A and B are shown apart, each in its own frame.
Chain A
Amino acid sequence: MGFVFYLISAFAVGGALAAVLLKNLVHAALALTVAFLGLAVLFLRLDAQFAGFAQILVYVGAVAILVVFAILLTKGSEVPKEGVFSKTWLAGLAIAAAVFAVLAWAIVQAAPSLPNQSEVPAVTVNDIGNALMSRYVLPLEIIAVLLTAALLGAVIVAMHEKERAKQ
Chain B
Amino acid sequence: MIGRLDQIFVLLKHWLLGYLPESWQTPVGVIISVACIVGLYPALFAVTTVLERKGVGRIQNRLGPNRVGPYGILQPMADGIKSLTKEDIVPTSADAVVHFLAPIILVVTVFMGFAVLPMGRNMVLVDMDAGLLFYFAMGASTELSVFMAGWSSRNKYSLLGAMRAVAQMISYEVALLLSSVVVVMMSGSLSLVKIVEAQNHYSYGLPHWFIFTPWGCAAFIMYAIAGTAETNRSPFDLPEGESELVAGYHTEYSGFKFALFFLGEYVAMFSISALGSTLFLGGWMAPVSWLQVVPSWIWFFGKLFVSMCVFIWLRGTLPRLRQDQLMNFAWKFVLPMCLLNLFVAGLWRFMGEGWLRWVVCSAILILAYVSIGREGMRRKKFGPRNYRYAE
Neighbouring A residues of B147 by C-beta, 8 Å: 65, 68
| B140 touches which of A50, A60, A124, A125 (Cβ 8 Å) | A60
Neighbouring A residues of B148 by C-beta, 8 Å: 30
A57 and B151 alpha carbons, distance in the complex (Å): 22
Q: A30-B98, A61-B141 are in contact. Are A53 and B133 (CB under 8 A)?
A: yes
Contact A33 B144 (CB under 8 A): yes
Neighbouring B residues of A65 by C-beta, 8 Å: 143-144, 147, 166, 170
Neighbouring B residues of A49 by C-beta, 8 Å: 128-130, 133-134
| A69 touches which of B128, B140, B166, B188 (Cβ 8 Å) | B166
* Closest B residue to A48 using CB positions: B130
A113 interface contact, C-beta 8 A: no
* Closest B residue to A73 using CB positions: B163
A72 and B128 alpha carbons, distance in the complex (Å): 37
Contact A50 B170 (CB under 8 A): no
A28 interface contact, C-beta 8 A: no
B190 interface contact, C-beta 8 A: yes
Considering only residues 54-69 of chain A, those with a C-beta below 8 Å from chain B are 54, 56-57, 60-62, 64-65, 68-69
B132-152 CB contact bits vs A (8 Å, 1 = yes)? 011011111101100110010
A29-59 CB contact bits vs B (8 Å, 1 = yes)? 0100100000000000000011001101100
B200 interface contact, C-beta 8 A: no
B83 interface contact, C-beta 8 A: no
B189 interface contact, C-beta 8 A: yes
A133-155 CB contact bits vs B (8 Å, 1 = yes)? 00000000000000000000000
A53 and B134 alpha carbons, distance in the complex (Å): 6
The CB with the most chain B CB atoms within 10 A, among A54, A56, A69, is that of A56
B71 to chain A, nearest CB (A): 42
B122 to chain A, nearest CB (A): 21
A26 and B99 alpha carbons, distance in the complex (Å): 13
A69 and B98 alpha carbons, distance in the complex (Å): 17
The CB with the most chain A CB atoms within 10 A, among B129, B130, B134, B141, is that of B130
Considering only residues 14-49 of chain B, those with a C-beta below 8 Å from chain A are none
| A53 touches which of B137, B144, B151 (Cβ 8 Å) | B137
* Closest B residue to A54 using CB positions: B133
A30 and B170 alpha carbons, distance in the complex (Å): 18
Contact A50 B133 (CB under 8 A): yes
Contact A57 B129 (CB under 8 A): no
Neighbouring A residues of B189 by C-beta, 8 Å: 126
Kindly list the 9 A-B residue pairs having the minimum CB-CB distance in the complex, ordered from nearest.
A61-B140, A56-B137, A53-B133, A49-B130, A57-B137, A53-B137, A125-B130, A57-B140, A124-B129
A-B contact pairs, 6 of them (CB 8 A): A33-B144, A54-B137, A62-B170, A65-B147, A68-B147, A72-B163
